[in-house]
Amino acid sequence: MQEEEHVSGLKTDLCKSGGTFCVLVGVTGSVAALKLPLLVSQLLQIPGVDVRVVTTEHAKHFYNSAEVSVKLYSDKDEWELWTQRTDPVLHIELRRWADLLVIAPLDANTLGKIANGICDNLLTCVVRAWDTSRPLLFCPAMNTAMWKHPITAQQVKGPWQRYRLLSALSISIFRNQMRHLRKHAHNIVLSIQLAPKQIET
């Protein structure tokens, strides 16, 4: 009975209404994750935008979940939801629901995982299953020395070319590619700028 309620709750939460632009925010274990509540609240102020969050376990260290006003999904939800073959798979349901995936902040560890095809948590599974015709916006946030390391440059440029990938470093591309949703694109860009690219320590 509890399993049925869990599945029913998921279907209700990820039900898309007509005209709604669905933004899935991924948050990883960078200190910049402390801005998650602010980022979510700014996105929700955009008319016609709906938001859900996928968090890594390490990201939870930096923000108070009680301050996040939308549904948060984590690894625990992925494994609790699926008990038999007919059950929905959470990372696939999230992929279907979202029109845009924003990873803000994207820490060095998760960047490395994604660049190498590793999908060992809910967020990286969503990315691995992502519809590459839909935009994926990422906002790197790490120590400056880590950001300037040659490995980071390789991981940002190389494998990501398969996606309509949009770094916070080339935000004008995002506006152009989202021309058909210009009002959403402009306001999402403004909101995303809350997430810093680098963190000095």
Map out the domains of the chain as residue ranges: 2-8+19-192
Beta bridge pairs of residue 24: 52, 101
CA 144 to centroid of chain Cα atoms: 22
| Residue pLDDT, tens place only, 129-174 | 998 888 888 888 888 899 999 999 888 876 555 554 444 444 444 4
DSSP for 69-116 reads: -S-EE-HHHHHHH-SSTTSPPHHHHHHHH-SEEEEEEE-HHHHHHHHT
CATH class of 2-8+19-192: alpha beta
Q: Which residue has the tokens 């979940």?
A: 65
User: Tell me, what's the pLDDT at 62?
Assistant: 95
Q: What is the mean pLDDT of residues 85-113?
A: 92
Q: How many CB atoms lie within 10 A of CB 20?
A: 12
* Nearest in space to 61 (alpha carbons), one of 26, 32, 102, 90: 32
| Residue pLDDT, tens place only, 30-79 | 999 999 999 999 899 888 899 999 999 999 999 999 999 999 999 999 98
Tokens of 57: 């376990």
